[in-house]
Amino acid sequence: MQNKIKEIIDDAYHGKLLNQREIKELLDLDTGSEEFYYLLFKARQMSAEACSGKAEIHGQVGVNSGPCGCNCAFCSFAAENKIFTEQQVEPLERVLEQSLDLEQAGANAIYLMATAQLNFQGFLEMGRQVRRELRTSVPLIANMADFNDEQAVALRQAGFAGVYHAVRIGEGVVNRIKLEDRLQTIEAARRAGLAIGTCVEPIGPEHSVEEIIEKIIIAREAKPGFSGAMRRVTLPGTSLSRYGMVGEARMALIVGVVRLVTPREVPGNCTHEPNAIGAVAGANLFWAEAGSNPRDVVNYTETNRGFDVGRCKKILVDAGWQVLEGPSKFC
């Protein structure tokens, strides 16, 4: 094993904040090397210690679908991708049913996900109703478009405990969203007292190590309840489909690096979609999904790409994790 690489990994495990050069050394590792497996070992150890050995499963419900003018090239809702051609908002009854089913199955948090086209007041009211009907104290999380300080306070008052918000790779290049707007939304959430979850995503084979490092550091500086890494899912026939998808071994390396680069005060380390090698590498957060989904081409992802809570739990347990029972500790 290269002593320099082992030293970088050990320093990170013991709390040193790695710089860009050191992060690059780790991301450049060959996934068949001894150093790769040592990195996964230490990342998994650090992850388990940060969360007291308890992985989590969060449940997400997509509440609407249809063409979105933000035109994120990686998203099935992008108007230019022409996958969803009509706007559809799920009936409240269905959103409630899906949320309660995820809670009953053991999800540690419930997310409501909306496209940028959904009316904010309508989303708030949906959140109020879901929060009112949830039978336990599992946190309710918003996954939605950018918002301002006033809207952040409104989310908190409606019963949302936190938000999922990421500065995606290619922001402002493969979509019509300004990177600054994403950062301002994270700060608005923080000022309103909302917990923040984030991720380095959506990673494709064409993305440089430098791009990935930039987003790892942005996520680290957000001081979230969880970070992690997610690969882009190929949507056939779209502009990014020619690049294909990052392999799971490469993603496991990135997930492990994110864990080592991120302080222990951040207990969660996610990956998506759920996979065993990611969990072995230190991913302690998976998502079960229902309703609409930006990585899917059908209205109800639970019938296609989406994992349910039981399937997520099996992967985590197979990878040696215990799964938390009760409300999330990450948000």
Please give the angle made by the CA atoms of 42, 47 and 50, to the nearest 5 degrees.
125
pLDDT tens across the length of the chain (331 residues): 999 999 999 999 999 999 999 999 999 999 999 999 999 999 999 999 999 999 999 999 999 999 999 999 999 999 999 999 999 999 999 999 999 999 999 999 999 999 999 999 999 999 999 999 999 999 999 999 999 999 999 999 999 999 999 999 999 999 999 999 999 999 999 999 999 999 999 999 999 999 999 999 999 999 999 999 999 999 999 999 999 999 999 999 999 999 999 999 999 999 999 999 999 999 999 999 999 999 999 999 999 999 999 999 999 999 999 999 999 999 9
Task: Identify the sign of the CA torsion 306, 292, 290, 286.
Answer: positive
Domain boundaries, the chain: 3-64+93-323
Cα(28)–Cα(212) distance, integer angstroms:
11
Q: Is 181 helix (H, G, I), strand (E, B) or coil?
A: helix
Q: Is 290 helix (H, G, I), strand (E, B) or coil?
A: strand
Q: Is 55 helix (H, G, I), strand (E, B) or coil?
A: strand
**Residue 44: in which H helix or E strand, if any?**
helix 34-50
Closest CA to 195 of 329, 95, 304: 329
β-strand pairing of 54-62 with 109-113: parallel
State the DSSP code for 271. E
Cα(233)–Cα(256) distance, integer angstroms:
20
Fold for 3-64+93-323, please state it.
TIM Barrel (3.20.20)
Amino acid at the residue 264:
R
